[in-house]
Structure 1
Amino acid sequence: MKRTRRLLLAMAASCAWLCYSPSAMAQGEDCSTATAITSLPATVFGNTSSANDDYNEVCPYTDTGGLDQVWSYSPVANETLDLSLCGPATDYDTKLYVYENVCGSSPIGCNDDNCSNLNTDFISEIFGLSVTAGNTYYIVVDGYDASSNGNYQLDITAAAPPSLGATCANPIVVSTFPFSTSNSTCGSINDYGTQCSTSYGGGEDLVFELQMPAGNFDIDLTATNGGSYIGWFLKDAADCAVGSSCLANATSSFGTDANGSYTFAAGTYYLIIDTWPSPACSDFDLTIQAGAPPPLGATCAAPIVVNTFPFSTSSSTCGSGNDYGTQCSGSYGGGEDLVFELQMPAGNFNIDLTATNGGSWIGWFLKDAADCAVASSCLANAT
């Protein structure tokens, strides 16, 4: 079932852009006769009432039979496009999709409903479509179903490039440490949602690419506009945009500071600054500098080495930091953790662990050498 998404005020189309009228140009019936758009921005008009049903895509509705017309665009440089049928001339329930070079292949962009105007609901638009020089893109203006056809207005603009730090594809690169900056997430848009299995991530976000040397570094973040609920979320190079993937994170609730540390191997990492759903954005100070070596056992990189057995010790997880989350697909892992490296002989060994401060809810989690930091990987565990 379709639902109205939002209502836009209709405004007259501006012919300060490149404009085509239906009387001046014939629209393409299919991709072989597509009408070329040669420059941007462009506003083009058409009517599908006498067209054929040549194509259909699902995004997400499966209804078919809409009548369609095709435009083409061949960029001379790599661009990001915004395409909209939401202008005041559109008067029916539309569908909009784009093919790269071959019509009928998987579309690189597809939208059924994203806006309304004074004539009708359920109008289509596509934002942030990446196109590459040397290719031809076929833009299909279609109807939702067999009864959906009529007049349309298609506006195509080259989207402004994202501001530095707005996305993982365009981060603020940091390669010299110590590093300190005053900045803001305001204006960077909420590109990434909930981070690191926390409730944070509903605000606008700013992305740093950290080209790190090896070592332990402190990451200190302070909200500076009188707010709180700010946090940082550290990702490896492959997982910048993966909300659930985190190497470490720190958040502030009722205070203004989100501080923590991480022991880095030399390489590239991403640091996302984000807020809880409120405030929507925040000014901040960020400092990244070499910290004291982590206490022995605090991380997989600096474990307590045990190579003689039997082995017995009295110790504590307190002060070691919560470097690793939920372990072995269980519910344990939210507290501070201590890491031992066991250089084991062959044989069957008992592992006995006792909480000694009157509490409970403690557990041990055995990993092989390659998977110390992989939360879901366990050879055995007991809680």
Structure 2
Amino acid sequence: MKKIVLIKAIFLVVIINFSCCSDESSQKDSDINMDVEITGENPVPELPEGFCRFDYECSNGIYCDGIEVCVDGICQPGVQPDCDDHIACTRDSCSEELNACTHDYDDSLCDDGDVCNGIERCIPNSPFSNRETGCVGGSPIYCNDNNDCTEDYCDSATGECKKKIRDADGDGYGDRQCSMIDDEGNRITGNDCNDQDPEIHPEAEEICNDGIDNNCDRMVDLYDLRCFPENDTCSTPDELPLDGGSVVGSTRTMRDDYTTGCGGTSKLDVVYILHLSEDHDVSINVLGDFRPAVISVQSVCGDRGSEIYCAENSLLARGLEAGDYYVIVEGATQGNFNISVELAPYTNVYNVPPTNDNCSSPYVIPPEGGLFIGSTTGMTNDFTASCGNNSNSPDAVFELTLTERKTVTLSTTTTYDGTLHMHSSPCVGGTEIVCNDDYPDTRHSRISTTVDAGTYYIIVDGYSSSNSGNYEMNVVISSPP
């Protein structure tokens, strides 16, 4: 600060001395350390560098340095022109030749390094340019071989069109339903068995109880040799689904742990549990590598005395109340199988005592029908029929009363060659309405007829005098079509 004050003082002295014309002042000028060249009538002193009286005395003649100004006798530098146009793709500079700012377009500042996007241009004034960068995008390279099984793309390094097998789920494995010819002329086929799920592919781990071929080896669950059943005993039963779908089971590595009422001995068995939240009829079917497949339904697992139903390959368990039931599947050999469960409306089950031998004591069928289980063993022959060799066998009598017109469907399963016929009232001497012997074989009969309100008699019979035994008769009563 002191230096600036001193300089200003010297400058003022110079001004004062030049404005005075006395000899005394002229004498004093010689004491000032200034070299002044006097020319013309009105001599003007040459100021030291950096000092000024007017702005023009400060100008260095360089446009791009800005306009220098004189402030308090001292030259101040100018403010350089702001040449930034705030457009990213222009190179901004100050031109001494033009005395102006210049903005040169540079396409390289727009290049994103991906030739597949096309050549980007710097065109700030274009209506299609980016407002911030001033760049206009190029025309991208379009790759399409019109094959739905390929994914076509542009190589960003070379700009060439290339293709690969469709991989819709993005797991790195092509769709097994697709193939293509590569650039070398080789046929390539996909190996992904489910191209909609990235969790399913050839390198995935097989999940042994989900019903899915997880690793695409065409082996589902226990059909995959890397999977083994774990439901060998009642302590580890598998739960059966109730949605009508099937699950894979296997007797591989299993043992003979339990006996069933229809399976004999030395059978390999596996155990399932069936959870019923409501009363239902339940149909169970087994289809697999071995035949027959024995199916046993038990209320206490492994207890043959609690067995409710037992059959080969398929089983209809009627009248199961809500609760837990155990299903044991047996096979004579090791092998895989599919087991499925279907639910049906609950059927009332009636155990018929052997007292309905004739018209004097028929067993009365309730209006809602049901399943009737009994035996004709020890009964007498009281009826003949138009089918089944006149049905000269021991027979059981049922009575059905309808209050309105209905369709009556009757079906029997017997341990003997049975027949089934229906008569109008009275029980003795009534007219035969319908008769069936075999449907579709000698162990099954079926009739269906629509009748008016009234009382009718249904006879469970046999083909000849030696045909008697156990029977199940299912009665369905419905509105006529």
| TM-score (norm. length: structure 1) | 0.39
Q: Which has the higher helix share?
A: 2
| TM-score (norm. length: structure 2) | 0.32
Name which structure has the greater RCO, CA cutoff 8 Å, separation 6+: 1
Larger Rg: 1 or 2?
Answer: 2
